[in-house]
């Protein structure tokens, strides 16, 4: 049976052949894991003629052989660059293509000093990783399950007097208790005026009755992440709170309903942005409507006004419009969708209404 990683390498080689690339250097940790299963913090993969070579160091000589198959493991003797030069010589190549965002200027200079010829290429791995295979989808669903079960348990802690930081730490503990190796990112808990900051840091502010509270969180499973946001009211919401929440929910639903293969990701963003702008809050929605998610919390595709990506079947991305009003607060609702042959399937299941979650 062919391992998913071997199938991914085959697809990469097909893209390399189509682009006339003889050898491709993979250095980003998530890309290395995607292609060969290696989870160590130091390792690069050289894809060229014959079997791919994973270059790593002494710390990972046992782990690398345990986690991978179908690749040659090379343990560096002196340093990474010398080992890479040796591998390139064995493969009979000296021109190494790489994704332009994956190497630093200093690393390029070291490769050149050893007589290698690094050449920047379009982002082949980004292109491959945007579409998720069956095993990836299973891991993403597992991460969502851990996050959502944890959030449901968090409900009993959401009440007047609790601090933002307490809620964030409790939620992260619950997710790890359910198997998440770590939180996908620092959990955001933003109450009242703090909600006007899209990426607010949880503070020691005590939540008060009547506050809107935005909670942005994610769990992990098998290296894959999820990303979910809910905004709820601690008590009975005011007319304005209902209005802004209803506007964001309407915009999110319009964007999700628009998703279908073949359309531009910019059009998904447009579907949400036009509704918020028409309601007079265009200036209060300053970020993209969504992003891809997988081995990284933020990866392709980009769902934004500047995106050049197209919606394709098997993509997984977030849909997360928001309205942020300085001095008042904010509302963001975020769900994850899977693009299907004819449209999309919403992977997240938590209630989205202000009254959908009892807070105390």
Domain ranges of the chain: 4-129, 134-346
What DSSP letter does each residue of 131-178 carry, written as one string?
B--HHHHHHHHHHHHHHHHHHHHHGGG-STT-BHHHHHHHHHHHHHHT
Domains 4-129 and 134-346 share a fold: no
pTM, full prediction: 0.94
Asked whether the beta carbons of 190 and 214 are under 8 A apart, the reply is yes
Q: Measure Cα distances from 280 to 120, 275, 277, 323 in Å.
A: 43, 9, 5, 10
Per-residue pLDDT at 331: 98
pLDDT in tens, 238-268: 999 999 999 999 999 999 999 999 999 999 9
Domain 4-129 has CATH 3.30.365.10: no
Per-residue pLDDT at 356: 47
Identify the segments of the chain with pLDDT beneath 50.
356-357, 360
Q: Note the helical H segments in 80-133.
A: 80-91, 105-113, 124-129
Per-residue pLDDT at 1: 60
CATH of domain 134-346: 3.90.230.10
Q: Measure Cα distances from 276 to 64, 252, 262, 325 in Å.
A: 49, 10, 24, 13
Per-residue pLDDT at 123: 87
- CA-closest candidate to residue 241, choices 293, 191, 283: 191
Per-residue pLDDT at 201: 93
């Amino acid at each position: 049976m062919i391992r998913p990683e071997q199938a991914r390498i085959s697809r990469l080689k097909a893209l390399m052949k189509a682009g006339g690339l003889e050898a491709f250097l993979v250095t980003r940790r998530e890309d290395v894991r995607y292609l060969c299963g290696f989870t160590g913090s130091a390792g690069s993969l050289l894809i060229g003629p014959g079997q791919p070579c994973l270059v790593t160091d002494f710390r990972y000589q046992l782990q690398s052989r345990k986690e991978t198959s179908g690749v040659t493991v090379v343990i560096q003797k002196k340093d990474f660059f010398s080992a890479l030069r040796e591998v390139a010589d064995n493969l009979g190549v000296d021109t190494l293509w790489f994704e332009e965002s994956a190497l630093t200027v200093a690393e390029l200079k070291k490769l050149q000093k050893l007589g290698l010829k690094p050449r920047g290429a379009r982002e082949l791995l980004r292109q491959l990783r945007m579409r998720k295979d069956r095993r990836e989808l299973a891991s993403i669903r597992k991460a969502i399950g851990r996050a959502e079960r944890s959030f449901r348990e968090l409900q009993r802690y959401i009440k007047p007097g609790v601090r933002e930081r307490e809620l964030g730490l409790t939620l992260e503990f619950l997710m790890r208790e359910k198997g998440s190796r770590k939180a996908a990112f620092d959990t955001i808990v933003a109450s009242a005026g703090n909600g006007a900051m899209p990426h607010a840091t949880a503070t020691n502010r005590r939540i008060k009755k009547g506050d809107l509270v935005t909670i942005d969180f994610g769990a992990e499973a098998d290296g894959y992440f999820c990303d979910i946001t809910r905004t709820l009211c601690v008590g009975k919401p005011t007319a304005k709170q209902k209005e802004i929440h209803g506007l964001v929910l309407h915009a999110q639903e319009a964007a999700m309903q628009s998703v279908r293969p073949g359309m531009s990701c910019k059009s998904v963003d447009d579907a949400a942005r036009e509704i918020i702008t028409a309601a007079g809050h265009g200036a209060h929605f300053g970020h993209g409507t969504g992003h891809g998610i997988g081995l990284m919390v933020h990866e392709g595709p980009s769902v934004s006004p500047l995106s050049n990506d197209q919606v394709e079947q098997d993509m997984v991305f977030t849909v997360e419009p928001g309205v942020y009003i300085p001095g008042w607060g904010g509302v963001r609702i975020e769900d994850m969708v899977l693009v299907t042959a004819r449209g999309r399937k919403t992977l997240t299941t938590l209630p989205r209404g202000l009254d959908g979650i009892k807070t105390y």
